[in-house]
Amino acid sequence: MMRHTIYTYSKEYFNKLYEDRDEQGAIVLSISQVPNKTHLDNYIDRGLDVEVDLTSAISLLMINQESLYQFELYLNTIVEVEIRFIIEEKYAEKALDLFKFIFDESEKLPLYTINKSEKEDGNLNGETVEEALIKKVTNLKNDGIDRLDNHLNTNIIGHNDFKNAFIEKLKSFSVFNSIGEHKVLSVFLLGPSGIGKTEFAKEIHNFFNVDTSLIKINFGNYSSQDSLNSLIGSPRGFIGSDDGELPRKLLKSDVGIILIDEFEKADKKVFNFFLELLEEGSFTNSLGEVFDLNGYVIIFTSNLDKKSFTTKLPPELRSRFDIKSEFFPLSVEDKNTYLSLKLEKLISKLNIEDKEAFREEIEQEIKDIVYTQNNLREINRILRDAITRRMFSWLP
């Protein structure tokens, strides 16, 4: 029987490999997602190129080889299908050793492998490997943290005590993360809706100037009985099984910022999941795949007040959050500043000859909303409605 080649990739490049294959109309599957040959045939019949990742299986067999014989029988049933086998590079030699009658060589995937000199130097085209792949706050040097501080002060109005506390904690996080003593920076923001909690996470993400979306999980959209399965995926064979919202979004993002909205609506299983995640800095999805979140910032938000926070969340979880802050409505002065900035940004994008006169008309129309509205989303809506009315009145 003809033996096959197994292709290797560097762990740091898996997300890029997964995304590239998706864009190319191909699919990458963990071996745990392939129950039988018929399953593969369904993909092949749809004209998809398939790569099957053996990493999880080999890592398990390195610990316990009791199922080696059965797994080899299984591999022989699918090996002749027109697919390609891939594996994380550090497991390739063991795969060749265990399955020498199936695989005779390994070959690097050149676009998804870090060469030796890059590993030794920690440099990839002038950037560290992590910087080239996932943008994280831990990659920022002193001037980078200063630039983030300026960005937040420019784009987040009010909440000055919190912003200062966050930057100080970020400096501490950078130091202790570098020696393996602090895996994930966690922030819990309390307060009513529409006062800037979500905006804070968005602005940290915007600071990195990337095209991918912010990773956002909203527990207000989850059903309570299946929250954890919806979050990290349910085992194969379960009705309605899927890969989980968090793993899917992690694979598509290149910024180490996660926003968890309406966290108070999660259940006990989810609380326990995040308790472990904040301690370990990683989690394992329903397919046995490990997601390393070392260096990430996770921002939790809730509409709870400080008193409700202490009764709703268990004490062991509350103690895991690095920063806990209650947001309050902005002052009239801050709302005026916020309104002026938003108005200036919107008008700058409009095709209007006399922008100054247009702005003055809008300001006159909506000047009183800073006294009647605290919700920034509602202020934005009123502002946009006023601009729309004025735009149509200015049209010839």
Distances (CA, A) of 380 to 24, 70, 89, 393: 39, 61, 50, 20
Q: What is the number of helices (H) and of strands (E) in the chain?
A: 19, 12
- Output the CA angle 201-204-206, nearest 5 degrees: 105
What percentage of residues in the chain have a pLDDT greater than 70? Answer: 91
- Asked if the model's pLDDT at residue 18 lies above 70, the reply is yes
Q: Is residue 132 pLDDT above 50, yes or no?
A: no
pLDDT at 129: 44
Residue type, 328: F
Q: What span, in angstroms and rounded, lies between the C-alpha atoms of 194 and 346? A: 19
- pLDDT for 115 equals 61
Torsion angles phi and psi, residue 299, rounded to 5: -110, 115
Between the ranges 53-67, 117-131, 162-176, where is the mean pLDDT highest?
162-176
**pLDDT for 163:** 95
- Mean pLDDT on 352-360: 83
The residues, any chain, with a CB within 8 Å of residue 18's CB and separated by 6 or more, are 28, 251
Q: Which residues of 23-49 are buried (b: 16+ CB within 10 A; e: fewer)?
A: eeeebbbbbbbbeeeeebeebeeeeee
Question: What pLDDT score does 275 carry?
Answer: 96
CA atoms in the 13 A half-sphere facing the CB of 205? 20
What's the pLDDT at 175?
A: 94
CA-based max dimension of the chain: 82
Q: Quick one: pLDDT at residue 104? A: 92
Question: Among the ranges 33-42, 127-136, 225-234, 265-274, which has the highest mean pLDDT value?
Answer: 265-274
State mean pLDDT over 316-329: 95
Say whether pTM exceeds 0.85. Answer: no
Confidence of residue 394 (pLDDT cuts 50, 70, 90): low
Please answer whether residues 137 and 37 qualify as being in contact, where contact means their C-beta atoms are separated by less than 8 angstroms: no
**Quick one: pLDDT at residue 355?**
82
**Is it the case that residue 40 has pLDDT exceeding 80?**
yes
**Facing residues of 282 across strands?**
292
Band the pLDDT of 1: cuts 50, 70, 90. low
Question: pLDDT by residue (tens digit) across 44-91?
Answer: 888 888 999 999 888 888 777 878 888 899 999 988 788 999 999 988
pLDDT at residue 393, as a whole number:
66
List pLDDT tens digits, range 226-272: 788 889 987 655 444 467 899 989 988 889 999 999 999 999 999 99
Q: How many CA atoms lie within 13 A of 182 on its CB side?
A: 19
The winner for highest mean pLDDT among 57-66, 133-142, 295-304 is 295-304
Distance separating alpha carbons of residues 395 and 128, to the nearest angstrom:
52
What's the CA gap between 143 and 204, in Å, rounded? Answer: 15
* Sheet with 84-88, side-by-side order of all strands: 26-30, 49-53, 84-88, 4-9, 103-108
Q: Provide the angle, in degrees to the nearest 10, between the axes of the packed helices 14-23 and 245-252.
A: 90
Q: What average pLDDT score do residues 159-166 get?
A: 95
Reply yes or no on whether the pLDDT at 170 is more than 90: yes
SS (H, E, C) 173-198: HHHHHHCCCCCCEEEEEECCCCCCHH
Query: What is the mean predicted confidence (pLDDT) over 133-162?
Result: 91
The residue among 328 and 133 whose pLDDT is bigger is 328
Measured at the alpha carbon of residue 309, what is the angle toward residues 305 and 312, in degrees to the nearest 5?
130
Tokens of 204: 């940290």
Report the pLDDT value the prediction gives residue 165, as an integer from 0 to 100. 96
From residue 290, give the alpha-carbon distance in Å to each of 49, 100, 382: 24, 27, 45
